[in-house]
Structure 1
Amino acid sequence: MSSPLKCFKQLFVFIAVFFRKSKLRLTPLTKTEVVKRLLDLAVVKVGNSERVVLVFFDLKCPFCAKLFKETEELLVDMANRGLITYAMCDYVVHRDAEPLHRMLRCISEKERLKFVRDAFEGKRVEIGNCPEGNLRICEKMAEELGVIGTPTLLFYHLAKGKGYIHFGYISPTEILEAISSL
């Protein structure tokens, strides 16, 4: 029979392993044509590099807001310097976000990042009556990649025809690590 002390040690080891900080989990992906189509449909697109960072987001998702606030400046700067293509594709999870996403597609491309920034900062944004546009097409294509929620990040190298997908929030450091793995 096991002693109570031995059982306690085994339980402690299990808890320590279960709750330890997880490493970055990137799922390999090879769907170049789907990625190219998503880039065409993306509501926000900055840069034109073979290395792609595509974020599936919902304007009412708190972790999407956290991710955006922490990484927007970095990713836009990298895209402007030609290091990556930074894109954002709608994946509406919260029903009350649908009018925001439709409006985002109705405004000029130059104003979209500001609209996203304002929405994520909780500022009042003007919502007009806009058609749905490509909103559902992005979601269907995202599901082809296995996307089931937000935020989801896709890291892809178009020339190599391979990349990775990550489900959930990750830190700016982990994003840089994923980009460098391309």
Structure 2
Amino acid sequence: MSTIAVKEVQTPRRGGGHRIPSSLTERPDSRVYLANLPNHSATAGLVGYTPQLQELISDALPITWHLIDKQGLGSDRVVHLFYANPKESLQVNSERLLELLEGLSMTDHIWVPVSTSHSMILHAFRNILPELKYLHLASVPMLYVGDNANRRSLKAMADMCKMPFYFHALY
């Protein structure tokens, strides 16, 4: 991990996580945040921007920018990556995802789940569906870059909470 990346990590915003270093975003003027950054080594192994997490971000962001441009979502919108951490419990991931989406309610921000475990993304989202009906997420699109097998389920859940949904397969 570069020392530049570590120095650029900023304090978390309410619900939005840590600002992703511009060295990882490919768009220096973008505002990209990461929620659920691994922060305690006792349960999660490595902390912070691990090489694996940097790779997930580096893989997801170019496709995210492509989807944003292709769908005309506005390149100036704030993007929040949610890291579904497979080393944490489903309950912990669900709680942190709910915290993020509560913070994004009534905004026009975009959120993008990332993980090595796409089933963790699916199940964490499913766990919090009852609470999401109370949030205003109609202007908070979910951009899912991942497994086509999860596409229909994630779209159906996004529809249940009136959240726009965009998809791109990650091969």
> Structure 2 length as normaliser, TM-score?
0.33
Q: Which has the higher contact order (CA 8 A, sep 6+)?
A: 1
Higher Cα Rg, which structure: 1
